[in-house]
Amino acid sequence: MSTLTIDKAGPTRNVKYGSMSRDRAWALRWSYFFLTLFAIFSLVPPLYMLITSLKGSAEISAATNPWWVFHPTLENYVGLLTSNQFMRFFFNSAMVSIVVVIITMLISIPAAFALSRMKFWGSATLATGVFLTYLVPDSLLFIPLFKMFALIGDVTGIQLINRWYVLLLIYPTLTVPFCTWIMIGYFASIPKELDEAAIIDGASWLQTLIRIFIPVALPGLIAATIFAFTVSWAQFLYPLVFTTSTDQLVLPVGIVTSLIKGDVFNWGQIMTGALLGAAPPLIIYAFLMDYYIAGLTAGATKG
């Protein structure tokens, strides 16, 4: 009999009235506890890059605690930032990424505008095609593209293989579909009355695009720009395939191929290089995190 009373009155009453706030407080504590664990998991590799980059080579090969820097030194940074080769990689990366961002925007803004506003024959198919192109991975296309560009070199005498500017032709295959897709979504969210009014007032399509769409969809444009930049900056497979001479390499490939000599890993310099290579996207992200996240969530799912 007693059990029955407990069953009926005990727990339900307690949960409903007594310990609601206490439950919530515990849920909160657990949330913070696990979030801390996951944050540590997320941040260990970048922090370890930073720790190693501040060590001299003697300290790296000594059997001391790897998680702490006992004799911090900037020699790795000085070494890399004064090395012509490394600065060359950095310059190539910056050059390629910035030009690719510009090309991407020039192609995808008008295309997204046309696809989201001017319904024409085949526009729906093309929009689907853009999305499908966005799903085609680099690892599927690198071999035929390599052969194609090699053939162009053989036939016309214009060498594209092993020149950094070949990347300007190839990266847009990754960035343009993505940015167009994001921007179709953003443009579609602009009320139709806005551009109809502009057209009635006698504005041309180009004027409508420049005066109305670009300012209104600026957050979307920023998100797309960030993505185009980070995608070009991080790309590893294409430069690995298309460039080999050290003066043509971009940063990721440069670090992997030139700082690792045979079996000798100069970890201090490699980690410093990796950190410097990770810095531009991280800095952009630190300032424009909200745009980055908006682009991420819009890009993959929104139509």
Q: How far is the CB of 89 from another protein (least distance, A)?
A: 12
Q: Which of residues 31-60 bind another protein (CB under 8 A)?
A: 31-32, 34-35, 38-39, 41-46, 48-49, 52, 60
Task: Kindly write out the interface string for residues 174-213 of this chain, putting x where it contacts another protein by CB under 8 A and - elsewhere.
Answer: --xx--x------------------x-----x--------
Least Cβ distance, residue 218 to another protein (angstroms): 19
CB-count exposure of residue 42 (10 Å: 0-12, 13-18, 19+): exposed
By the rule CB under 8 A, 17 interacts with another protein: no
Judged by CB under 8 A, the residue of 69, 99, 222, 296 near another protein is 296
- In the complex, least distance from residue 145 CB atom to another protein, rounded to whole angstroms: 5
Binding window for another protein (CB under 8 A); candidates: 1-9, 75-83, 137-145, 154-162 = 137-145
Site residues for another protein, 138-157, by CB under 8 A, read 138-148
Cβ pair 183, 224 in contact under 8 A: yes
Residue 295 touching another protein (CB under 8 A): no
User: Taking CB under 8 A as the criterion, which residues in 255-294 touch another protein?
Assistant: 255-256, 265, 267, 270-271, 274-275, 277-278, 281-282, 285-286, 289, 292-293
For residue 208, count other CB atoms closer than 10 A to its CB. 20
* Cα(266)–Cα(128) distance, integer angstroms: 47
Binding-site member from 98, 126, 152, 168 for another protein (CB under 8 A): 126
Identify the bridge partners of residue 264 per DSSP, sorted by sequence position: 261
The answer to the question of residue 77 lying near another protein (CB under 8 A) is no
Distance CA 289, CA 113 (A): 25
Pairing of the two strands 264-265 and 260-261: antiparallel
Which residues have C-beta within 8 Å of that of residue 259, sequence separation ≥ 6? 266, 269, 270, 273
Contact with another protein (CB under 8 A) among 1, 4, 135, 264: 135
With CB under 8 A, what is the number of residues at the site for another protein? Answer: 98
CA 159 to the chain's CA centroid: 30
CB of 3 to another protein, least distance (A): 21
Residue 261 Rama label (left phi>0; alpha psi -120 to 50; beta): beta
Structural tokens at position 240: 């690995």
Among the residue ranges 2-10, 75-83, 158-166, 168-176, the one whose residues contact another protein (CB under 8 A): 168-176
Closest-CA residue to 269 (of 48, 83, 80): 80
Residues 92 and 86: their CA atoms lie apart, in Å, by: 10
Residue 222 CB neighbours (<10 A) = 16
The Cβ-side half-sphere exposure at 38, using a 13 Å CA radius, reads 6
Using CB under 8 A as the binding rule, the residues of this chain from 210 to 249 that contact another protein are 230, 233-234, 236-237, 240-241
Task: Please tell me whether residue 166 binds another protein under the rule CB under 8 A.
Answer: no
Q: Please tell me whether residue 111 binds another protein under the rule CB under 8 A.
A: yes
Shortest distance in whole angstroms from residue 19 CB to another protein: 14
Look up tokens 């970048």; give the residue. Answer: 46
Residues 79 to 98: which contact another protein by CB under 8 A? none
